Amino acid sequence: MTDSFFPKWTLKTEGAIMPDERMPTGQMVVVGLQHVVAMFGATVLAPILMGFDPNVSILFSGIATLLFFVVVGGRVPSYLGSSFAFIGPVLVATGAAVGSPNPNIPLALGGIIAAGALYFLIGLVVQMAGHRWIERLMPPVVTGAIVAAIGLVLAPIAINSASGITPDNQAGTAFARWIALTTVVAVGLVAVYAPGIWRRLPVLLGGAIGYLAYYISANVLGYGTPIDFTKIGEAAWFGLPTFQAPVFEMQAMSLIAPVAIILVAENLGHIKAIGAMTGRNLDPYLGRAFMGDGLATMLSGAGGGTGMTTYAENMGVMAVTRIYSTLVFIIAAGFALVLGLSPKFGAFIGTIPGPVLGGLSIVVFGLIAATAGRIWVESRVDFSNPRNLITVAVALVLGAGNFKLDIGGFTLDGIGTATFGAIILYHVLRIGPVAAERTQPAE
């Protein structure tokens, strides 16, 4: 790396391409498009599940990636997309049903901005004081418990959508359940058996298979409500999406702002993984990465978009291709901006049937919870230590049961109580000689 704010990217035509290197322009464009495909399924799915406009979120994912690039000085290769950590708090705060238009998006936007502001402040502190305190505050046992709680809170939402349950039909339908299960199986088959890079796109391809199954069953065979393609034909190819302004309501903000803690843990893990892949120490950029992500989340929330985070899908592409050039993400962001400015693309997204979204939700929400196990295994968390066991046990039940707590006129839902409960309980149980005797370094 050079001493200038941005690297001076040098041309390289073979082998691993480091963050401060680049390939010929044509190859860079192809790799950038591949990153858009990799992030596409998740970045589009998240706003749909929250009832947001996917065009707005795709547009802001491109803007967020460019902003992140500038804040980190082009030193950290990352794509920013819609964060799934916001889904549960947003649905609870707005009272919306998964996959349905959200009537209270402005309330959610105020909370998303609050989360982004908290995230930015944490990044500022990290930049000034170093990153070790974050790792001490939220060791793997705590971050895993919080992640698992998020997945468990979302479980009933996924099942309702997969069952076709609506305000007018509380029983759901067998047709919806079979379509949802078909989608789930399709995602699994793609993830395990698809060749090459296609295996990295199980949500996108599994969703396409579920969509096709629904179309044949409903539009051709008449087993369900047909998909209406009228709006696709009426929509323009290019145009501005519908932006919305935030409303700052303390209740919604108190529910959504704690998501910043999840984003910190997520970004921390991603940057350390990229550092390991490139063989470079990126820890000095952690504070700037947090601040960049926080600013991107605030900017997205200010215009009607979802909260942003660095994307594991794009890290997978880097691991497969061994191409880490940060210039690739400028190109990927450009493609995202074009998609976000296409109303026809948004109209097509709007035709995705509810049972297909429900099937995708079962997989995605389950993966969120299952990620906790990966965190604990890779960090070798010792569950024979009662401090770890009790911290996780309490957080899981608080999340799964959606335990609510009134504090000073504000109500924390299951995600909030699980998040703060895990952090506080873990550190309370560290006090005293018994905890000191049982402390083990793998935490």
Check whether 274 has a pLDDT greater than 90: no
User: Are the CB atoms for 385 and 436 separated by under 8 Å?
Assistant: no
410-435 mean pLDDT: 77
- Poorest-confidence range of 175-179, 301-305, 398-402? 398-402
Cβ atoms within 10 A of the Cβ of 229, count? 13
**Residues 221, 189, 83, 111, CA torsion sign:** positive
β-strand pairing of 410-412 with 405-407: antiparallel
Q: What percent of the chain has pLDDT over 90?
A: 19
Looking at residue 227, the DSSP 8-state letter turns out to be P
pLDDT of residue 65: 94
pLDDT of residue 433: 62
Cβ atoms within 10 A of the Cβ of 126, count? 22
User: Are the CB atoms for 76 and 326 separated by under 8 Å?
Assistant: yes
Check whether 379 has a pLDDT greater than 90: no
Contacts of 336 (CB under 8 A, 6+ apart): 36, 58, 59, 61, 62, 65
pLDDT of residue 41: 64
Instruction: Return the closest-CA partner of residue 34 out of 168, 278, 201, 224.
Output: 201
* 408 backbone φψ class: left, alpha, beta (φ>0; ψ -120 to 50): left
Tokens of 65: 């990636």
Instruction: Return the closest-CA partner of residue 140 out of 317, 359, 381, 342.
Output: 381
Alpha-carbon distances, residue 299 vs 58, 243, 322, 341 (angstroms): 13, 12, 31, 17
User: Are the CB atoms for 337 and 59 separated by under 8 Å?
Assistant: yes
Confidence (pTM): 0.70
Paired strand residues for 10: 21
Looking at per-residue pLDDT, the higher value among 151 and 65 belongs to 65
pLDDT of residue 425: 92
Check whether 6 has a pLDDT greater than 50: yes
What is the C-alpha separation between 395 and 148, in angstroms, rounded? 8
**How far from chain centre, in Å, is Cα 132?**
24
Q: What is the pLDDT of residues 77-131, one digit of tens each?
A: 988 988 877 887 888 888 877 777 788 889 999 999 999 999 999 999 988 888 7
Contacts of 427 (CB under 8 A, 6+ apart): none
What is the C-alpha separation between 238 and 344, in angstroms, rounded? 7
210-231 mean pLDDT: 86
Instruction: Indicate the average pLDDT of the chain.
Output: 82
Length of the chain: 443
pLDDT of residue 1: 46
Cβ atoms within 10 A of the Cβ of 383, count? 11
Q: What are 278-281's contacts with CB under 8 Å, separation 24+?
A: 278/16, 278/18, 278/19, 278/77, 278/324, 280/18, 280/19
Instruction: Return the closest-CA partner of residue 48 out of 369, 335, 310, 360.
Output: 360
Q: What is the pLDDT of residues 123-160, one digit of tens each?
A: 999 888 887 787 788 788 887 887 788 778 777 877 88
